Amino acid sequence: MIPKKISLRPGLATETDFPVNADPFLDKYKFVGTELGRGRFAVVKQCVELSSGRTFAAKRLRKRRRGEDCRADIIHEMAVLELARTCPHIVTLHEVFETSSDMTLILEYVAGGDIFEQCAAVEDDEAFSATDVPRLIRQVLLGVAFLHDHALAHLDLKPENILLTQTRPPGDIRIVDLGLARFIQPDHRLHEMIGTQQYAAPEILDFEPISTATDMWNTGVLTYMMLKRELPFAVEEDDKVCLGISQFNVDHSPETFEDISSNAADFIRSLLVKAPQDRATAEECLAHPWLFADLVSPSNQLILASAEQPSGEETDSSEQISC
Ligand code: ADP
Ligand code: MG
């Protein structure tokens, strides 16, 4: 359900019950290791909680950005993380600290880092195997379906925001970066130039209404990249990607799909569809045979049985676009 408190800015929560700590962060934590990553306004560093010795990721966000007070956006990100706390495939928020200039979100530490390198790998042994991908995409879909069940669209699903609990062999998925997530209200058409340009859905670039189907386009792009290690658009130069997407220049040729299974190709084709209403939903994708192809071999009957077991929890940065 959509929380009662939605701001005048469409799709944003205005309040959260999550406590904000005004004590100095370094009274309770120390930084260790190197920087984990950075996005549009955030720097993420590894840290250890002094009382427990547990490792976390500290995401520091500036409250003023481009001369504007953006505290409300951080409150929104906290509210979304709080709402998603029961979903095992979305990163967990542990604690929040605030100073006069910034807020620091203490997040579950996801040790394997994001999957950008695997999606851009030149060498085969650095990329995902064909059997890793359906297992990982199923976990992404469980996270996405959870958000959609709560009337939320993530709107920035891309390799940099999909993390693994361990790298080799690939562990489990945690979706991060819920700062651009928006509540989709049936009576309010949401138009925003939001997300990251090379992954943007056609409706974003055409300034048509955004919906949960926007995430399904991104899931199609993500799946394609995890399998093929390139973007699915037939463009000659990188700076023409936006044009490729808005003109729907998606390469659906048989040669493009010849090195992946027909089930995987069918799955991707059901998502890289220009009209948002014609794309498969997260629930429909979760029933797609590709996700089960490797689970139904006789030696894997047990995995299929556990995958089908309903679990209460499971059923249930980026730059502004300028193209
Ligand atoms: P932004 O909103 O600025 O894009 P993100 O939340 O996406 O910030 O974090 C930036 C990068 O930091 C991610 O792409 C990822 O590589 C790394 N990162 C973020 N959260 C975690 C985490 N909980 N554990 C480990 N690394 C993380
Ligand atoms: Mg990000």
**What does the pLDDT profile of the chain (323 residues) look like in tens digits?**
445 444 546 788 888 889 999 999 999 999 998 899 998 889 999 999 999 999 999 999 999 988 889 999 999 999 999 999 999 999 999 999 999 999 999 999 999 999 999 999 999 999 999 999 999 999 999 999 999 999 999 999 999 999 999 999 999 999 999 999 999 987 778 887 777 878 889 998 888 899 999 999 999 999 999 999 988 876 666 666 776 676 666 777 778 888 899 999 999 999 999 999 999 999 999 999 999 875 544 444 444 444 444 444 333 333 444 33
Q: Cis before residue 169, ω within 30 degrees of 0?
A: yes
Task: Please report the pLDDT score of residue 15 as a whole number.
Answer: 86
The H or E element spanning position 139 is helix 132-149
Ligand 1 centroid–CA 51 distance in Å is 24
Q: Is the CB of 10 under 6 A from ligand 1?
A: no
Q: What angle do CA 304, 309, 310 make, to 5 degrees?
A: 140
Q: Tell whether 240 is in a known binding site.
A: no
Q: Please, is 70 exposed, middle or buried when counting C-beta atoms within 10 Å of its C-beta (0-12, 13-18, 19+)?
A: middle
Task: Please report the pLDDT score of residue 297 as a whole number.
Answer: 46
The H or E element spanning position 280 is none
How far, in Å, CA of 12 to CA of 5, rounded? 9
Q: What angle do CA 199, 217, 77 make, to 5 degrees?
A: 70
How far, in Å, CA of 145 to CA of 88, rounded? 12
Q: Is the CB of 77 under 6 A from ligand 1?
A: no
How far, in Å, CA of 50 to CA of 55, rounded? 9
How far, in Å, CA of 158 to CA of 140, rounded? 11
Verify whether residue 156 is a known catalytic residue.
Answer: yes
Q: Is the CB of 179 under 6 A from ligand 1?
A: yes
pTM here is 0.88
Task: Please report the pLDDT score of residue 295 as a whole number.
Answer: 56
Which residue from 183, 181, 182, 163 is spatially nearest to 173, judged by alpha carbons? 163
Task: Please report the pLDDT score of residue 250 as a whole number.
Answer: 74
Ligand 1 centroid–CA 85 distance in Å is 17
Task: Please report the pLDDT score of residue 9 as a whole number.
Answer: 66
Task: Please report the pLDDT score of residue 233 as a whole number.
Answer: 76
Q: Whose CA is nearest to atom 2 of ligand 1?
A: 317
Task: Please report the pLDDT score of residue 131 as a whole number.
Answer: 92
